[in-house]
Amino acid sequence: MNKWFKRSAWMVGFFLGAMTLLYAAAWAKTERALARQYTISDAPLQFRGDDAEQARGAHLYTVLGCVECHGEGGVGRVVFDAGPVARVTAPNLTPAAVAGRYSADQLAAAIRHGVGPDGRPLRFMPVGDFKNLSDADTAALVAHLQRLPSSDNSPAPFEVRPLGRVLYAIGKLELVPAEDLDHAPRVRISPPQGPNADYGAYLAQTCTGCHGQDLAGQRVPGTPPELPEAANLTPHANGLQGWTEADFVKVIRQGVRPDGRELHGFMPWKVYASMTDDELRAIWLHLSSLPPEPGAGKS
């Protein structure tokens, strides 16, 4: 019995020691990543300053999904609390909250580079969805943010918890999206707006964070196992093969698939339902032109 007890105690001690070392390494890696400095040298935004620019910015705030995290009016909110992983909070973006902290160009850097005004990376900001947002559309979006009614709302602080740090350290959590981007300055121009596949590809960039860069579906990074994989959006048998444009429009407008099943609540279809008919047609034309990929998700 004494021998068994000693062996058990040794095993428990070894396990606790290994876990302590793992967490220490995860903590150090996380802190290094969050402390890294990025230099953003994009050209200053050029604003038109007219009503059309404001309307475009308000539309983009909705259809790009900004409202899904930052809330109506940009007042910020707790997006989700994943227990030992993290509490993810989208900050207040109204002028009262960002005044003196973010200039217009620093807001643009946060949107397209995931970098804050101090040069450090933002956590969980889905910058891959917005990295190619055109200079004109970025200016419109920033102009909209700068005209929001001010709010003193202060959501609970963002918190990366122990398991989140470990998952990041082993490559299972996209905590710092900025580290995977090319931050070299460049001019960004959108394709001509309208029902064409090129413009659809431009709009569908916002889908890649969940559905993958090839839009063939995947386990959404950082989501708990009980959530389903993001669907395959390519014209494959595992995806949208056999769908019509009307089917696609219906699933976005009403959240109902061709077979009558409702979309999972994680899919923010009500946000994308605000897209115009031309925007949805453009995305459909883009998705229809993709090479069929088996992917990981199911339609």
Provide the domain count of the chain. Answer: 2
Decide if pLDDT at 296 tops 70: no
Q: Supply the pTM of this predicted model.
A: 0.90
What DSSP assignment string belongs to 210-263? Answer: HH-TTSS-BPPTT--TTSPPBPP-SSSTTTTTT--HHHHHHHHHHSB-TTSPBP
Does a structural domain hold residue 84?
yes
The alpha carbon of residue 47 and the mean position of all alpha carbons in its chain are separated, in whole angstroms, by 25
The pLDDT value recorded for residue 288 is 97
Angle, vertex CA 157, rays to CA 218 and CA 272, nearest 5: 40
- Asked whether residue 220 is domain-assigned, the answer is yes
* pLDDT tens for each residue of 33-69: 999 999 999 999 999 999 999 999 999 999 999 999 9
Whether residue 186 is contained in a domain is answered as: no
Which pLDDT value is given to residue 12?
Answer: 59
In a domain, 187, yes or no: no
Q: For residue 105, what are the domain limits?
A: 51-180
Average pLDDT over residues 151-161: 95
pLDDT at 16: 60
Residue predicted with more confidence, 263 or 227: 263
- Tell me the pLDDT tens digit for each residue of 90-132: 999 999 999 889 999 999 999 999 999 999 999 999 999 999 9
Residues 235 and 270 in one domain: yes
* pLDDT > 90 fraction of the chain, expressed in percent and rounded: 83
Does some domain include residue 4? Answer: no
Last residue of some domain: 126, 146, 180? Answer: 180
User: What CATH number should be reported for the domain holding residue 206?
Assistant: 1.10.760
11 or 21: whose pLDDT is higher?
21
Residues 201 and 138 grouped into a single domain: no
Query: pLDDT per residue over 201-224, tens digit each?
Result: 999 999 999 999 999 999 887 677
Alpha helix locations (H) across 71-205?
95-98, 104-113, 135-146, 162-169, 197-204
Residue 40 lies in a domain: no
